[in-house]
Amino acid sequence: MSLINKFKSLQNNGSVDDILKEIGADFKAEKRRVYFEVDSDNNEPASRYCAVVRDKTLLAIMKEGYGIVQYSEAVEFLNDLITKGSTSVDYGAITDGGARLHLMCTTNYIAQLAAGDSVRCYFTVSTSHDGTESLLISCTPIHTASETVFTPMGAGVIKMRHSKHVKDRMAQTARAMNKISDYFLNFTETIDRLKGLTVTKDQETIFVTMLEDGDSQRAENIRTRVLDIFHFGAVSKIPSCQDTLFGLLISAQFYADNYKVVRKSSIRNEIDAFIESKLSGDAARFKAEAFAIALRLEKM
């Protein structure tokens, strides 16, 4: 199942309050004192740290002296964009019991590749309750035909500091949206070039070898799977992807978004691990590396 199918598809996205309520993120986090065990009979306060909690659930440990950021405050800037009609929040998710919030927002920008095949300009807003962290806005375009999400990372990620001042928030929002627009314009020019380049068998081999090097069985399985997706899987039926460098890139993305193994942990369930990995973890880095390799092959 693809990344966007792990998010909740939003039906009521008229305002930030509606969005947060629909995905269960309309709760209020609280700041609590943290204690550590001195011995079996005594606990002492950890003066430098505090806890962020939701009811009786621990969400995070943060440095004392910083405020908690409520989700309604962190993403309030989206109300201005929604009202203007320049943004629609299509997907949302909370992970780690509510410790992280992710909203996938679309814009009016779209790159049409062929009939029923396009790349739409989405950006993902990610935040937590920790006042010491910045809110992240990541350019995450979606290839509609394959339902895969690009995660360029690096230049495609914008940090916004939390602010309660309206003028400051509006100025930050305007700068962020300009950066998203500029990035997507350059991005679509690159995509247009990649879909026009036919790849040879040698280039296919170079691509998957650079993507997953090594002699292990695992590495060989990944290389084989990506090429199978390219030649025989769902990607092979998409016109812009057939025998093109763009198709190799999308095959790597399709593998990462649908098949790359993600392991849950004692503090993170399988779905949460899936979302975090595909957006900013191992799978996201795999997709970003595939994009970088495609650019290097373009110049060969």
Say if CB 245 and CB 194 are below 8 A apart.
yes
Buried residues in 49-75 as b, exposed as e (16+ CB within 10 A): ebbbbeeeeebbebeeeeebbbbbbbb
For 67-71, 94-98, 116-120, 243-247, which range has the lowest pLDDT when averaged over its residues?
A: 67-71
What pLDDT score was predicted for residue 58?
83
Distance CA 174, CA 156 (A): 16
135-139 vs 142-143, strand pairing mode: unpaired
Q: What is the pLDDT of residue 166?
A: 62
Looking at the chain, the whole-number percentage of residues with pLDDT higher than 90 is 55
pLDDT at 186: 92
pLDDT tens digit string along 126-169? 999 887 778 899 999 999 999 999 997 777 888 887 766 666 77
Q: What is the pLDDT of residue 165?
A: 65
The closest alpha carbon to 235, from 116, 130, 147, belongs to 147
Residue 4 has pLDDT above 90, yes or no: no
Q: Would you kindly state where each structural domain of the chain is located, as residue ranges?
A: 7-26+69-190, 30-63, 194-298
Give me the pLDDT at residue 189, please.
Answer: 94
Specify the higher pLDDT residue, 152 or 202. Answer: 202
What radius of gyration, in Å, describes the C-alpha atoms of the chain? 21
Confidence of residue 66 (pLDDT cuts 50, 70, 90): confident
Mean pLDDT of the chain: 89
Residue with the bigger pLDDT between 154 and 180: it is: 180
Is it the case that residue 54 has pLDDT exceeding 90? Answer: no
Which pLDDT score, from 0 to 100, does residue 247 have?
Answer: 97
Highest mean pLDDT among 3-7, 19-23, 53-57: 19-23
Quick check: 200 pLDDT over 80? yes
Q: Is 68's pLDDT higher than 70? A: yes
Region 55-71 average pLDDT: 83
